[in-house]
Amino acid sequence: MTTAAPTAPAGVDLTDPRTFLDGRDELFDLWHRFRTHSPVHWHPVRDRAVPGFWVLSRHRDIMEVYRDNKRFTSERGNVLATLLEGGDSAAGRMLAVTDGRRHRELRNVILKAFAPRVLEPVVEGVRRRADRLVREAVARGTCDFAQDVAEHIPMATVADLLGVPAADRDYLLSLTKQALSSEEEGQSEEESLVARNELLLYFSDLAMDRRDDPRDDVVSVLAAATIDGEPLTEQEIVFNCYSVIIGGDETSRLSMIGAMDELIRHPRQWQRLKSGEVTVESAVEEVLRWVTPAMHFGRRALTDVEIGGRTIRAGDVVTLWNSSANHDEEVFDTPEVFDLGRASNKHLSFGYGPHFCLGSYLGRAEINGLLTALRTHVAEPEATAPGRPIHSNFLHGYSSLPVSLRPQR
């Protein structure tokens, strides 16, 4: 299978969500030790009938795998949960877990709905929504920033893209949170699976409606699309709707909540943003780097590959830890510093290569809209209680963040 690995942090279990509940300084130190002592690391899996997986923690190694869809595949899963189970039921039908020619064809179909020109009206709606939600929160004085502000921006935006009725949006938000993460430790894998299945059933019904009554939304684009003269299958339509809502909601929502938390923790950076010393655009990139809401993605090797002096065997699972790459000293000056004016910011929060996130433009626009609204309407934010972290080995952030927002006079 593999030769013995160099010394790395003892007793660390990257499959256990509790590992990621430590403070940021502890997690930064953890990844620094991986990069220093075992940058290409073999991680055994306890109490499960699977051999283990590789952990890549250096920016350059992760980039190498992200760009290589010849020797590494996403079609047997692209996150730990599915990779360790042996595969993803959506493989070959959902863009994120499809490779080769079919991936290119599906991506070209979905790109039509995500072109910046097409998204401009959606982005304008993002700005209005963010401004309204922040003004309302400021007027109340205190709020749960996660639940009262951040949750409502990306979900409403993605729901607009998909044509989801307003009455269904809270239901879909609850399902997305159950599908990928939990506020509590006790949620079972079965509960997550049920939530994912309910999402798929919902979009199956919506796709049937759009075939008969097409509208100007992503579901209608998928329902009307053809590849080589053949329409997409119902499963392709449903799985890609699921992919859009999961990817479009989680990354932006957790980034926005994380942004608020870090601006409170770093008052000097808040003042730089507030005064205009730094641009909103550079602040967006630093928030994405620092928060890194999707901690990892993964691949399975199709052939033997050497990376960092270690031999990865055909069939091995390889995990790519963005949360480490985004703090790699070889790429970022003073990576341990939250710097909204960072000039060079080659973060991997949207991935890289053939599977680079289609929604990156929209995700950036959502965080931009929020930061602009905060800068405009808030004099000073303060925490009123500790945030409540989500329970996940894939996503990182808070499900609750009580704050007070003093109004701009």
Q: What is the pLDDT of residues 178-207, one digit of tens each?
A: 876 555 555 567 788 888 889 889 988 888
Non-local CB neighbours of 159 within 8 Å, separated by 6+ positions: 166, 168, 169, 172, 245
Which whole number is the average pLDDT over 235-253? 86
Non-local CB neighbours of 86 within 8 Å, separated by 6+ positions: 76, 77
- The pLDDT of residue 404 is 98
CA pair distance 131, 235, nearest whole angstrom: 37
- The pLDDT of residue 1 is 44
Per-position b or e across 117-144, b if 16+ CB within 10 A of its CB: eebeebbebbbebbbebbbebbeeeebb
Asked whether residue 330 carries a pLDDT value surpassing 80, the answer given is yes
Non-local CB neighbours of 35 within 8 Å, separated by 6+ positions: 57, 58, 324, 328, 329
- Higher pLDDT: 117 or 385? It is 385
**Contact (Cβ atoms closer than 8 angstroms) between residue 309 and residue 42:** no
- The pLDDT of residue 223 is 87
Going along the chain from its start, the domains and CATH numbers come out as 17-407 (1.10.630.10)
Measured on CA atoms in the order 244, 256, 291, 24, is the torsion positive or negative?
negative
Query: Taking all residues of the chain, what is their mean pLDDT, rounded to a whole number?
Result: 91
Supply the pTM of this predicted model.
0.91
- The pLDDT of residue 184 is 54
